[in-house]
Amino acid sequence: MTEPLKVFIGWDSKEPAAFAVAMHSLMRRARQPVIVTPLIQPQLRDHGLYTRPRRPNEATEFSLTRFLVPHLSQYEGFSLFLDCDVLVQADIFDLLLYPLAYPDKAVHVCQHDYTPKDLIKFDGHEQTTYPMKNWSSVMLFDNAKCKALTPEYVNTASGLELHRFHWLGSDDKIGSLPLTWNHLVGEYPSKPDAEILHFTLGTPCFLDYAACDEADRWWAEYDRMLVPARATERALEQELARVR
């Protein structure tokens, strides 16, 4: 690969810590350069790329902005989208083996087949159930094959049309990734070594999920991310104590 991989991570103002941990976990394990872009809804609105009103059933600010990724990538190369409530535990470049093996696919996802256990999400939103649920939480786009995802389409299509990949015209264009690349913590049996742990019920940064399955791994990543800051804090405290 000659160019950095473009990675877009959903941004929600309720979960800045989740975004930071997701980005940190991804970047420190990637063996090649990546360009990480947060999908911040107000910015997309300011540039006229996202105009639709937010509906009550949109649990996050990036529920639908994720489908702008091919456009933001100029419909060139490969781009990866991730929900912010993930912990990446493997080299993200390993995902590129799948479009190389199946070049006819337009997007590669983990094709979950499950019914959510809880009726309410971490933020009080109703947990909706529909076919292909959570398929769009980790998506590897072959951008040139996703030109139907124009800003106009993203702003006018229904949420279900977007999340159920109607824009492809055929499900045959959806490639399949192993479920370990989007392991749904709390929904599936424990698999702590999964390539991506997805805290879909609630990230450990929320009090009710601070001790959920695999939370220790999320907190370990959080602590590792803060090591430089905490070292600086200790140094400042020592310096202040010295001059007093």
Q: What angle do CA 141, 147, 148 make, to 5 degrees?
A: 105
Beta bridge partners of 10: 39
Per-domain boundaries in the chain: 5-243
Comparing C-alpha atoms, which of 120, 27, 147 is closest to residue 82?
27
* C-alpha–C-alpha distance, residues 203 and 160, integer Å: 24
Please give the pLDDT value at position 66. Answer: 98
Cα 71 → chain centroid: 17
Calculate mean pLDDT across residues 74-88: 98
Q: Write down the mean pLDDT value for the chain.
A: 92
Please give the pLDDT value at position 229. Answer: 65
User: For the segment 54-66, what is each residue's pLDDT rounded down to a tens digit?
Assistant: 888 788 999 999 9
- Kindly state the helix (H) or strand (E) to which residue 99 belongs, with its residue range: helix 97-101
Which CATH architecture best describes the domain 5-243? Alpha-Beta Complex (3.90)
- Model confidence at 120, pLDDT cuts 50, 70, 90, reads low
Amino acid (one-letter) located at 230: R
